[in-house]
Amino acid sequence: MSPAQIKQTTMQAHKQTGASLIEVLVAILVVALGILSMAIMQTKVTRLSKVSEARTMGNMLAADLADRMRANPGGVALGAYAFSAAMPTGATPPSFSVTTQCNDALSNCNASQLAQFDLSDWRELVYRSLPNGWTRISAYDGINHAHDLWLIWQEPDERTPKLPVLDPCPDGIAPSTSNGVTKAIRCMYFRINL
């Protein structure tokens, strides 16, 4: 080979080496972006699965209350299942105790006492099943034979200071703020026809 050919071959080898390094860097960048995208997607899937789990639990809780109401038509007619109290904001759980226990066949409870027991037991179940779960139940609508039911809970990990109420909620429901962080609130609405 002539010296000119050797020089030309050497120059081509250097050009090709530089191009290979750039290609490797671009490949590493593409792989890194792919891994980052998958991590973000996994985080969103986990959060959405928790929301889905809470909504499924909400459906089961609403069906449970509807069954309790259908089993006690006298308590429904008296309006004993209506409940509208402020959502608890402290770290201590609210009290759900009632004086009359109506949880067995030997109990001699009237319709109103049974409704109070059912409502207390069910509200505790809501609180324990949903993150800081709470409820609102409208007074019985005798014309439509129905109650309006709201299940309300706070998302434990989701913090959205710009839009803290994520679902349409009843009036008077406000997000809680602690340490400057506003927790998102989720609501589910049901109409229980009896």
Is residue 108 within 8 A of residue 124, CB to CB? The reply is no
Host H or E run for residue 61: helix 3-71
Kind and range of the H or E run holding 55: helix 3-71
Q: Which candidate, 39, 128, 25, 119, places its Cα nearest to that of 80? A: 119
Please give the backbone phi and psi of residue 96, each rounded to the nearest 5 degrees, phi first. -120, 10
**Predicted confidence (pLDDT) per residue in 36-56, tens digit:** 999 999 988 887 888 888 889
pLDDT at res. 162: 44
CA distance 14 to 20: 10
Residue 123 φ then ψ, to 5°: -65, -40
Q: For residue range 143-180, what is the model confidence (pLDDT) as tens digits? A: 888 889 999 888 766 554 444 445 677 776 765 655 66
Contacts of 15 (CB under 8 A, 6+ apart): none
Complete DSSP assignment for 133-148: -EEEEPPPBTTTTEEE
pTM score: 0.71
Angle between helices 3-71 and 111-129 (to 10 degrees): 170
> At residue 67, does pLDDT exceed 70?
yes
Separation CA 142–CA 115 (nearest Å): 17
Q: Which of 8-17, 21-30, 77-86, 133-142 has the lowest mean pLDDT?
A: 8-17
β partners of residue 153 = 186
**Four-point Cα dihedral 146, 128, 58, 56, nearest 10:** -160
**Which residue matches tokens 């259908």?**
70
Percent of the chain scoring above 90 in pLDDT: 23
Total Cβ atoms within 10 A of residue 122: 20
Residue 49: left (phi > 0), alpha (psi -120 to 50), or beta?
Answer: alpha
- Of 134, 137, 50, nearest to 90 by C-alpha is 134
Domain ranges of the chain: 52-193
